[in-house]
């Protein structure tokens, strides 16, 4: 990210936490960042756009941390899923984001409300896909429903904990418990076939991606990469995925290397996609 843009986002983040989003003005951001109005408007058209950029930046950090935890691990590993769940909660706490989420969801700003909705749906889709990773395709009809229940249970259990005690939240214990209850719920549904939500309720129009699709997408990213070493590694991964029988061990090794050597958000998305496909 452009250093000046990152400077503005960091200043806005400090200000929104200290003063609150609604009480903060663009002039406050200018003063906090030590920039002119013209510099601000070179990067953002409004205060809400600045907040969205901040939240998107943090979402990329969450995605990167989740991928880093996953590489070299089995997608069906329940302990991995619990650790990935904890990533968002831990980062939300470290960066004091809970009040900012409230500002978004209770805002009357159309752009902010649309962003909040898209972020919520994206998290449900991630949870749904991870549930399918754990239980197989037969669990797909129940994945969205269990994603929604797990997401809601996390929020409500944390809320009740904080109402009842000043003790630090045992986050790892909480996420392990959520995954345990989710496994029990899915196992029951696989037997009785009952559900409330259709898996198609939030379905994306795009078809499920194949390894061939991922290979094509990675070739395009390789062509655009500026770092020769990174370009070569991405191209190698793309060629391996395009093979008749991709070698899983080699793919996982390259995924790990790439995951540790880049913070490019688009590439990270494709790495997670391949990690899920190659299982």
- Going by C-beta distance under 8 Å and a sequence separation of 6 or more, which residues neighbour residue 70? 80, 84, 272, 275
Residue 208 has pLDDT above 70, yes or no: no
Q: Supply the pLDDT for residue 101.
A: 83
80-87's contacts with Cβ under 8 Å and 24+ in sequence apart are: 81/130, 81/133, 81/134, 81/179, 82/172, 82/175, 82/176, 82/178, 82/179, 83/172, 83/175, 84/130, 85/150, 85/154, 85/175, 85/178, 85/179, 86/171, 86/172, 86/174, 86/175, 87/62
Q: Output the CATH code of domain 1-44.
A: 1.10.10.60
According to the model, what pLDDT value does residue 205 have?
A: 39
State the average pLDDT over residues 83-87: 96
Torsion of CA 204, 269, 86, 258, to 10 degrees: 160
3-class secondary-structure state, position 166:
coil
Q: State the DSSP string of 57-80.
A: HHHHHHHHHHHHHHTTS-TT-HHH
Confidence of residue 207 (pLDDT cuts 50, 70, 90): very low
What pLDDT, on the 0 to 100 scale, is given for residue 60?
A: 87
User: How confident is the prediction for the chain on average, in pLDDT?
Assistant: 87
Report residue 158's pLDDT band, with 50, 70 and 90 as the boundaries: very high
CB 204 within 8 A of CB 151: no
Phi-psi region of 46 (alpha: psi -120 to 50; beta: other; left: phi over 0): beta
Give residue 267's pLDDT.
80
pLDDT at 132: 93
123 Cβ contact partners less than 8 Å away, ≥ 6 residues apart: 88, 151
Residue 209 has pLDDT above 50, yes or no: yes
Which residue matches tokens 């950029």?
A: 53
**In the predicted structure, residue 263 carries a pLDDT above the cut 60:** yes
Q: What is the pTM of this model?
A: 0.74
110 alpha-carbon distance from chain centroid? 22
Of 152 and 262, the structure prediction assigns the larger pLDDT to 152
Mean pLDDT over 241-251 rounds to 85
Predicted confidence at residue 204, as pLDDT, reads 53
Nearest alpha carbon to residue 203 among 153, 143, 151, 146? 143
pLDDT > 90? residue 3? no
The residue with greater pLDDT, 108 or 88, is 88
Residues 144, 124 contacting (CB under 8 angstroms): yes
pLDDT tens digit string along 216-234?
Answer: 888 888 887 878 888 888 8
Q: Check residue 138 and give its pLDDT.
A: 93
* pLDDT of the residue at 218: 86
Tens digit of pLDDT for each residue in 104-155? 877 888 888 888 888 899 999 999 999 999 999 999 999 999 999 999 999 9
More confident residue, 127 or 1: 127
Question: Is the alpha carbon torsion for 73, 76, 82, 84 positive or negative?
Answer: positive
pLDDT tens per residue across span 31-56: 999 999 999 999 999 999 999 999 99
């Amino acid at each position: 990210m452009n250093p000046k843009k990152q400077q503005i986002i960091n200043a806005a983040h400090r200000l929104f936490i200290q003063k609150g989003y609604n009480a903060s003005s663009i002039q406050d951001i200018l003063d906090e960042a030590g920039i002119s109005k013209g510099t601000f408007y070179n990067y953002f058209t409004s205060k809400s756009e600045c907040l969205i950029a901040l939240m998107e930046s943090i979402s990329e950090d969450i995605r990167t941390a989740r991928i880093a935890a996953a590489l070299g691990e089995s997608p069906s590993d329940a302990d991995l899923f619990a650790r990935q769940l904890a990533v968002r909660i831990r980062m939300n706490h470290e960066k004091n984001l809970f009040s900012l989420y409230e500002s978004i969801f209770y805002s009357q700003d159309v752009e902010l409300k649309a962003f909040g909705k898209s972020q919520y749906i994206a998290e449900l889709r991630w949870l749904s896909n991870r549930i399918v990773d754990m239980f197989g395709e037969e669990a797909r009809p129940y994945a969205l429903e269990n994603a929604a229940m797990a997401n809601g249970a996390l929020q409500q259990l944390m809320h009740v904990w904080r109402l009842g005690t000043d003790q630090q939240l045992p986050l790892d214990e909480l996420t392990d418990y959520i995954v345990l209850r989710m496994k029990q719920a899915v196992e029951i549904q696989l037997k009785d076939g009952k559900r409330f939500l259709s898996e198609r309720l939030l379905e994306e129009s795009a078809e499920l991606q194949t390894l061939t699709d991922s290979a094509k997408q990675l070739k395009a990213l390789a062509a655009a990469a500026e770092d020769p070493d990174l370009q070569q590694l991405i191209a190698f991964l793309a060629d391996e995925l395009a093979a008749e029988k991709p070698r899983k061990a080699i793919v996982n090794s390259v995924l790990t290397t790439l995951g540790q050597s880049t913070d490019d958000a688009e590439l990270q998305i494709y790495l997670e996609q391949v990690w899920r496909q190659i299982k």
